[in-house]
Structure 1
C-alpha cells in the first residue's frame, strides 16, 4: 500500500511539473489600486498561489488539531484517575494485620 501511495504522489508530481513547464509564458498580475506587475512567468504565479493556499489550509486545521490534542490529554488524565480508583491497593503498602489479623495468644 505504501508503494502505491508513493507511486501516486510521483505521478501527480510529474503531471503538475509538466503542466507548469508548459505554462511559462509571461502574464500581467493585477493588484488592487491599479497596481500591475508585468511579465511575471505564469509558473511563478501558480507556485505562489499554491503555497498561499497550502498555508491557509494548514492555518484552518490548527484550531481543530489543538482542540483534539487537549481532549486527548483530558481523556488520558480521566483514564488514569479511573484506573487509580479501581485498582486494588498495593500489597506492599498494606499492613499484614489488615489482611490476616493476629490471633490472641
Structure 2
C-alpha cells in the first residue's frame, strides 16, 4: 500500500510538472492592491502554488496525528495499569486486546 501511495504522489507531481512546463508564458502576479510582480513565468507560479498547497495540506494533518499519539499514550498507560492490577499469573494466556479492546479513533 505504501508503494501505491508513493506511486500516486509521483504521478500527480509529474502531471503538474508536465502541465507547468507547457505553460511558461510570463504573467503578472498581484498580491494585494498596488503590490504586484510583473513578468513572472507561469511555471514558477504554478509549481510554487502546488508546493504551498502540499505543505498546507500536510500541516492540516498534524493536529489529528498529535491527538492520536496522545490517545495512544493514554491507552498504553491504562493497559499497563490494568496489567499490573491483574497480576502476572492471570495475563499468561491473554493478549492486550483481550484486556483492553481498542476503540475506534
Instruction: State if a TM-score over 0.5 links the two structures.
Output: yes
1:1-105 matches, cutoff 5 A: 5=5, 7-88=7-88
Q: Kindly state the Cα deviation for residue 15 of structure 1 after the two structures are TM-superposed.
A: 2.3
Higher relative contact order (CA 8 A, sep 6+): 2
CA distance in 2, matches of 1:39, 1:83: 67
Aligned length, in residue pairs: 89
**Residues 11/38 of structure 1: CA separation in 2 closer, same or farther (3 Å cut):** same
* Range with bigger deviation, 65-74 or 27-36: 27-36
Per-residue CA deviations over 1:34-83 (Å, capped at 9, x if unaligned) read 11211101111011111221222222221111111000000001001101
RMSD: 2.2
Q: Which has the larger radius of gyration?
A: 1
Question: What TM-score results when the alignment is normalised by the length of structure 1?
Answer: 0.70
**Residues 80/61 of structure 1: CA separation in 2 closer, same or farther (3 Å cut):** same
* Range with bigger deviation, 53-62 or 41-50: 53-62
Q: 1:93 maps to which residue?
A: none
Question: What TM-score results when the alignment is normalised by the length of structure 2?
Answer: 0.70
Report if aligned partners of 2:29, 2:38 keep a CA contact under 8 Å in 1. Answer: yes
